C-alpha cells in the first residue's frame, strides 16, 4: 500500500452533482483512498446548487461508484459514509459563500483538520470567474494552512478572456496557489517524454533540425458530439483540443532541457517554445466539419444533423495546421498538428520522422522504397513507444523492409493509473510541474488568435473517413504524408 500523499485536508468540489465529478473524479478519489494515498483524516465536501443533504449526496455518490464498478459495495458505502459531505450553494441570497465558509470550518473542526484546503472547480467556463470571486470575497482564499484552487479547461475562450480570467484569479490567489489542469499531462507517456528525451543521450542527440525532417501530432476521435452540442457548438476543435491538449504535446516535444526538474524550470521552457512559434498563416490551416458517412458499415449523421446543432453551423469538428518554431533547434522543421471527430479510430500519438539518408545505394533497377526512421509516441488507445527502422530481408537479394520495435507500458507495468489520479496526487502534494502556468495559457491563446479572428471557411469530410482531403494537401505540399495509424 502506498503512503498517504500530502497532508490531511478538505477537498472541496464545486459542481459535485455534475458529470465530471460523478463519472471521473469520484472513482479516482475512491481509488486513491483504497490505495492508502489519502490521509484518513481527509474529507471531501461536494458543493452544488442542488438542495441535497449529506445522506442524499452519499447515496448518489455510492450509486455512481457502483455503476462505474469502482469497488465492492461494502467498501464503497464505507468510503461514502466516512469521507463525503455536501453543502448546497445559494448564489441568489448573497451569503452562499459565507455559509460555505462556516460549513468548511465545522467539518474541519469535527475531523481535526489543520486548515489545508483544495477547491476544485469542476464547472463550465462561465462559472469560473464568479466562483473565484465568491471564494475571494468570503476570505476562502486564505486559511490557517495552505489553500489551492484547481481550474478545469477551457481556461478562457480566446486571448482577451484568458487574460481577464488570469487577472481575476490573481486578484484573490497567488499564482503558486492556482493549478490549471489538463488531463493529458497526467498520462504516463506524456510525463515520460521528459525521461525519454533528457535521460537518453541517443535520442536527445538526434532531436534537432539536423536529423529530424518533420513532426506530426494527432489526436483523433471516432465519436461525434455525443450529447454535448451546446458546449461543442460554442467551442469547436481548436478551442476544445488544440489550444490545450495538442499544444501541451507540442511544447513537451519541442522544449529545451530545463536546468533543473523544478516545476517552474520545466514550465518556463514550455513557454519559450510558444514564444518562438512563427505566426500561423491562413494557408497553414484547414478547418473541417464531418458530414453524413459510415463507420463499420453503420450510417452516421453529419454534424449539422446532430441534435441541437444549427443546420448552417460553421463550427469546425476537425482542424489541421502546420507551424514552425524559429529557434536554433527547430529552424525550418515543420510541425503538423491535427485533431478531429468522427474519424476511423480513437488515436493520440506523436510521430517524429527523421531525415532520409542523403544517398541510398539500395535503389537498384528494381526500385523499392526505403522509408525514413520514425519514433512514434503512443498516448491512446495504448501508451508506449515504437521505433520504425529499416532491416534487410533474409535471402540472397538485397531487399529492405521496415521493422517496428515496440514498447507498450501495459506489457511491462500492467494497468496504468488514470491521468486524473496522477494530477490529483500532485495537487495534494503541492507539485505544479504538470499544470499550466498563467503565461503559458496566454501564449497558447496568442498563437492561435489569427485563426480565431479570421477562421478559414470549413470544408467537409464524410463521417468515418480520415478527414478532409485538404488536410492531406497541407502536408503533401511539404513532400510528406500523414503517418497512418
Complete domains list, the chain, with CATH: 10-152 (3.40.50.720), 185-476 (3.30.360.10)
Instruction: Give me the mean pLDDT over the 271-277 stretch.
Output: 97
How many percent of the chain have pLDDT more than 70? 96
Instruction: Categorize the per-residue pLDDT at 75 as very low, low, confident or very high, splitting at 50, 70 and 90.
Output: very high
Instruction: Categorize the per-residue pLDDT at 364 as very low, low, confident or very high, splitting at 50, 70 and 90.
Output: low
Q: Of 382 and 300, which is predicted with more confidence?
A: 300
What pLDDT is attached to residue 368? 58
What pLDDT is attached to residue 267? 92
- Is the pLDDT at 292 greater than 50, yes or no? yes
Residue 303: how many CB atoms within 10 A of its CB? 26
For the full predicted model, state whether its pTM sits above 0.75: yes
Instruction: Categorize the per-residue pLDDT at 348 as very low, low, confident or very high, splitting at 50, 70 and 90.
Output: very high
What pLDDT is attached to residue 484? 78
What pLDDT is attached to residue 380? 84
- Is the pLDDT at 366 greater than 70, yes or no? no
Question: Please, what sign has the CA dihedral across residues 253, 257, 260, 264?
Answer: negative
What pLDDT is attached to residue 71? 83
- Is the pLDDT at 187 greater than 90, yes or no? no
Contacts of 262 (CB under 8 A, 6+ apart): none
What pLDDT is attached to residue 1? 41
What pLDDT is attached to residue 228? 85
What pLDDT is attached to residue 229? 87
Instruction: Categorize the per-residue pLDDT at 178 as very low, low, confident or very high, splitting at 50, 70 and 90.
Output: very high
Weakest mean pLDDT among 130-139, 228-237, 269-278, 448-457: 228-237
Instruction: Give me the mean pLDDT over the 76-89 stretch.
Output: 95
Instruction: Categorize the per-residue pLDDT at 199 as very low, low, confident or very high, splitting at 50, 70 and 90.
Output: confident
What pLDDT is attached to residue 93? 66
Work out the mean pLDDT of the chain and round it to a whole number: 91
What pLDDT is attached to residue 375? 93
Instruction: Give me the mean pLDDT over the 240-266 stretch.
Output: 92
Instruction: Give me the mean pLDDT over the 141-160 stretch.
Output: 93
Instruction: Categorize the per-residue pLDDT at 167 as very low, low, confident or very high, splitting at 50, 70 and 90.
Output: very high
Weakest mean pLDDT among 32-36, 252-256, 265-269, 358-362: 358-362
Instruction: Categorize the per-residue pLDDT at 155 as very low, low, confident or very high, splitting at 50, 70 and 90.
Output: very high
Instruction: Categorize the per-residue pLDDT at 169 as very low, low, confident or very high, splitting at 50, 70 and 90.
Output: very high
The answer to whether the CB of 235 falls within 8 A of the CB of 355 is no
Instruction: Give me the mean pLDDT over the 295-312 stretch.
Output: 94
417 in the Ramachandran plot: left (φ > 0), alpha (ψ -120 to 50) or beta? Answer: beta
Instruction: Give me the mean pLDDT over the 389-402 stretch.
Output: 80
Instruction: Give me the mean pLDDT over the 408-431 stretch.
Output: 87
Instruction: Categorize the per-residue pLDDT at 361 as very low, low, confident or very high, splitting at 50, 70 and 90.
Output: low
- Is the pLDDT at 358 greater than 50, yes or no? yes
342 in the Ramachandran plot: left (φ > 0), alpha (ψ -120 to 50) or beta? Answer: left
What pLDDT is attached to residue 4? 62
Instruction: Give me the mean pLDDT over the 79-90 stretch.
Output: 94
The 10s digit of each residue's pLDDT in 206-238 is: 999 999 999 999 999 999 998 888 889 999 999
CA distance 96 to 362: 75
**Active site residues per annotation:** 245
Amino acid at each position: 500500500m502506498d503512503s498517504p500523499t500530502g497532508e490531511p485536508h478538505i477537498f472541496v468540489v464545486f459542481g459535485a452533482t455534475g458529470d465530471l465529478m460523478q463519472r471521473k473524479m469520484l472513482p479516482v478519489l475512491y481509488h486513491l483512498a483504497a490505495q492508502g494515498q489519502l490521509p484518513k483524516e481527509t474529507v471531501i465536501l461536494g458543493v452544488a446548487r442542488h438542495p441535497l443533504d449529506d445522506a442524499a449526496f452519499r447515496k448518489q455518490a455510492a450509486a455512481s461508484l457502483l455503476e462505474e464498478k469502482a469497488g465492492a459495495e461494502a467498501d464503497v458505502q464505507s468510503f461514502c459514509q466516512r469521507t463525503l459531505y455536501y453543502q448546497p450553494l445559494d448564489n441568489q441570497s448573497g451569503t452562499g459563500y459565507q455559509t460555505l465558509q462556516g460549513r468548511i470550518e465545522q467539518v474541519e473542526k469535527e475531523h481535526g483538520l489543520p486548515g489545508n484546503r483544495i477547491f476544485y472547480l469542476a464547472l463550465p467556463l462561465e462559472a469560473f470567474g464568479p466562483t473565484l470571486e465568491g471564494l475571494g470575497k468570503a476570505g476562502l482564499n486564505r486559511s490557517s494552512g495552505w489553500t489551492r484552487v484547481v481550474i478545469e479547461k477551457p481556461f478562457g475562450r480566446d486571448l482577451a478572456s484568458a487574460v481577464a480570467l488570469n487577472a481575476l484569479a490573481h486578484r484573490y490567489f497567488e499564482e503558486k496557489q492556482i493549478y490549471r489542469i489538463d488531463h493529458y499531462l497526467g498520462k504516463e507517456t506524456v510525463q515520460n517524454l521528459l525521461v525519454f528525451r533528457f535521460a537518453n543521450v541517443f535520442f536527445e542527440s538526434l532531436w534537432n533540425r539536423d536529423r529530424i525532417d518533420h513532426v506530426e501530432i494527432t489526436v483523433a476521435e471516432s465519436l461525434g458530439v455525443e450529447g454535448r452540442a451546446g458546449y461543442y457548438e460554442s467551442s469547436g476543435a481548436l478551442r476544445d483540443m488544440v489550444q490545450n491538449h495538442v499544444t501541451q504535446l507540442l511544447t513537451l516535444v519541442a522544449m529545451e532541457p530545463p536546468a533543473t526538474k523544478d516545476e517552474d524550470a520545466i514550465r518556463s521552457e514550455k513557454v519559450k517554445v510558444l514564444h518562438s512559434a512563427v505566426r500561423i498563416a491562413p494557408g497553414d490551416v484547414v478547418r473541417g466539419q464531418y458530414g453524413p458517412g459510415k463507420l463499420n458499415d453503420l450510417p452516421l449523421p453529419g454534424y449539422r444533423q446532430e441534435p441541437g446543432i444549427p443546420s448552417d453551423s460553421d463550427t469546425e469538428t476537425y482542424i489541421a495546421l502546420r507551424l514552425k518554431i524559429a529557434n536554433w533547434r527547430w529552424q525550418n522543421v515543420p510541425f503538423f498538428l491535427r485533431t478531429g471527430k468522427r474519424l476511423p479510430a480513437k488515436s493520440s500519438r506523436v510521430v517524429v520522422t527523421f531525415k532520409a539518408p542523403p544517398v541510398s545505394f539500395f535503389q537498384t533497377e528494381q526500385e523499392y522504397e526505403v522509408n525514413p526512421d520514425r519514433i512514434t509516441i503512443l498516448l491512446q488507445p495504448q501508451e508506449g513507444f515504437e521505433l520504425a527502422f529499416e532491416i534487410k530481408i533474409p535471402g540472397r537479394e538485397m531487399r529492405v523492409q521496415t521493422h517496428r520495435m515496440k514498447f507498450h507500458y501495459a506489457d511491462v507495468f500492467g494497468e496504468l493509473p488514470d491521468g486524473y489520479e496522477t494530477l490529483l496526487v500532485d495537487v495534494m502534494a503541492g507539485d505544479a510541474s504538470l499544470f499550466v502556468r498563467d503565461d503559458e495559457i496566454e501564449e497558447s491563446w496568442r498563437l492561435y488568435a489569427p485563426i480565431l479572428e479570421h477562421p478559414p471557411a470549413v470544408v467537409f469530410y464524410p463521417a468515418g473517413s480520415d478527414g478532409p482531403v485538404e488536410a492531406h494537401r497541407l502536408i503533401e505540399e511539404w513532400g510528406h504524408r500523414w503517418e497512418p495509424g
